[in-house]
Amino acid sequence: MKTNKSFSKRLRVTRRGKIVSRVPGHNHFNAKRSGSEKMRNNRASSMQMTPQNRSRFLPN
């Protein structure tokens, strides 16, 4: 099965094997948000994936 490239570009695997991604939906319409809210949404969040999804969405 081919790797889903568009999804794999949004993820990053850390040294210890955690899968980290950006919180979706924060590319525009940020002018009305407060500074603390923008900083909070700038952080990456970890994801939980099953081994089946990991092999499907991430390259080897």
Q: What would the pLDDT profile of 40-58 be if each residue is shown by its tens digit?
A: 878 777 878 888 877 777 7
Alpha-carbon separation of residue 26 from 33, 38, 39, 48 (angstroms): 10, 8, 11, 21
Mean pLDDT of 13-33: 84
Can you give the residue ranges of every domain in the chain? Answer: 5-53
Type and span of the H or E element at 5: helix 5-8
Residues with Cβ < 8 Å from 18, sequence gap 6 or more? Answer: 46
**Report field, pTM of the whole predicted structure over 0.75:** no
- Closest Cα to residue 26, out of 9, 39, 7? 39
Calpha distance 49→60 (Å, rounded): 15
* pLDDT surpasses 70 at 60: no
Mean pLDDT of 6-28: 82
* pLDDT surpasses 80 at 24: no
